[in-house]
Amino acid sequence: MNQLFADVLRLFPRKAVALLLLASFASISEGFLLILLLPLIGALTGSPATSGVAYKVIQFCAVLGVPDTASAYAVLFLVFSLAQYSLVLIQAALSSQLQAIYVRSIREDIFASLLSARWDFLVEIRSAEYLSGLITEAAHASLALTYFVTFVSSAITALVYFLIAFNLSSLLTTVLGITFVVAGSATYLASKRASLVGRETCEYEARSAQWLSEVLGSLKSYKAAAWEEIAIRKYSALNFRLSRLVAVALRSPQFVRVAMEFFALVGLILMLYIGATDLKISFSVLLVLLGAFIRTYPRLISAQQAFQLLSLHLQSVRRVRNLITLATVQSEKAGGLKFSSKSNGVDIDCINLSVSAGGDRIVNDVSIKIPACQYVAIVGPSGSGKTTLVDCLLGLRQVETGKILIDGHPLKEIDLLSWRKRVAYVSQDPPIFNASVRDNIIWGRSDVSDDEVVRAAKAAHAHDFICQLEHGYETYVGDWGGKLSGGQKQRIAIARALISKSVLLVLDEATSALDSQSEREVMNALDDLKGGLSIIAIAHRLSTVRSADRILVMESGRIAESGTWLELIEERGLFARLVSLQGQG
């Protein structure tokens, strides 16, 4: 509950206060309508009150200039009814607005905290937990706010009616109060159970989302291996438990409603019997007491059910805030020296770098110098530390010892965001969005002309195939670029790098999944880019690095060899053996 209060006060304190005032005024107006029946009934029956609550209402109406007549009271009743219902409608509109703001804020906070977290944290988390938080838990958390508003509004209205009833008859109201307490006690355990069910539901929704994410991301492998039955069986088990929890969550409010209605019936009988036989209360007062009773119990039922559902959905509030806090604690260092380069490339100096993971040294005392605008390839067996080294250059991994200089400035002193904005990263499967070819090339930029787009595409050897598409640069490429081949995706990604005026192009196994023709197209593009910016290429397929200015050969986290293709072949060392294994002498 405290977290929900903190969120409300942080996001919309004034609107929250306004909502509380609206709920209070609406409840007071509703209560006034009820006690306004006293002088109205008195005027209709010809027995006006001379004391008590009814007389005080007559005096209040006189102050307002309302004459002591049935027609005047009827008109006043209608006016206050319109005012009360108007307040209720305004309250509902404001409540809906706050719910929408709340769910939007939660989703934006989760997304922003996730993208701001360190890479070594992101590779360890279960992404489906955050996906579940963004979609399911955020919606449940917004429902918690809705139920909280319903609970407060219903409780205020019930309190107003209770005070009215107490002023009319303290004894009967005490009897009613006892039934309220008994009913509340009967439903307390149900509310505690709802909290436990909510926590378990959150866990199973996250596990179900994780499993669906894994299966849907590998559908081809599952079908090829005939694992459909295994996947369905596991999902059915998760879904069965989740459905049982949902059933319990839906059943509990009905228990509250039945319990409250039973005690309401008991209270009604007691009130009528005691009021009519023992207290000899007047008909008009008994009628208003009955009205207060009839109006109070639905509010109490609503408050009880809202409190129970609030207990259920508060678990989602806690869960999403835990996800946000966990990612925020692991956020990357912000601020520092803004990166700027006076040339097209960038000088990179790595001095005695060492990085460990799981107790093993992945990068061990590596020192390299990459001059600006040089094309450097990094090769070596799997697990030799190639990707980890490049991750360090991008600031994605932290080095334990040593330092990295970017144009002479320590990387740890440079604002990472400004540095990465000048780096283009092209992976084996680069992100291609369901948008036009042009939008994919200028992604994240709005100040790019059509001529610049065409120049970048030509430099990336992409212009010719783009022109052959149905709508040229305005062709939509489908989800994940499904309408493009692997080589075409790579060349669009390279064109995007050129548009962003990057000083460093990183190719991480960019051609490993391409056929020979597509690979050749990408290599031609790289050959044309040589000398225009710095290029670092991680490669397993050694034929792709023949034209590199320098090849770094890594083994067991160290630089085992360094030189051009011909120099390394002549050394007859590790690189020559790798080339021989691939049949590319």
pLDDT digits (tens, 9 = 90+) for 541-556: 787 788 888 999 988 8
Q: How far apart are CA 380 and CA 162, in angstroms?
A: 80
| HSE value, Cβ hemisphere, 13 Å, CA-based, for 558 | 5
Rounded average pLDDT over 333-352: 81
Question: What's the pLDDT score for residue 257?
Answer: 67
Q: What is the chain's length? A: 585
Q: Greater confidence, 585 or 414? A: 414
Any idea what DSSP says for residue 36?
A: T
β-bridge mates for residue 508, sequence order: 427, 538
Contacts 24+ apart (CB under 8 A), 38-45: 38/284, 38/285, 38/288, 39/68, 39/73, 40/70, 40/73, 40/74, 40/77, 41/283, 41/284, 41/287, 42/284, 43/68, 43/69, 43/70, 43/73, 44/70, 45/284
Whether the full predicted model's pTM is greater than 0.85, yes or no, is: no
The SS3 of residue 247 is helix
Condensed to tens digits (0 to 9), the pLDDT of residues 211-267 reads: 777 776 666 566 656 677 777 787 788 777 777 777 776 666 666 667 666 776 776
Q: How far apart are CA 433 and CA 425, in angstroms?
A: 16
What order of strands is seen across the sheet that includes strand 504-508? Answer: 423-427, 504-508, 534-538, 375-379, 550-555, 558-563
Backbone angles phi, psi at 481, to 5 degrees: 70, 35
Q: How far apart are CA 509 and CA 505, in angstroms?
A: 13
Condensed to tens digits (0 to 9), the pLDDT of residues 501-539 reads: 778 888 887 666 566 776 677 777 777 777 778 888 888
| 415: its two tokens | 């604002």
Q: How far apart are CA 422 and CA 414, in angstroms?
A: 13
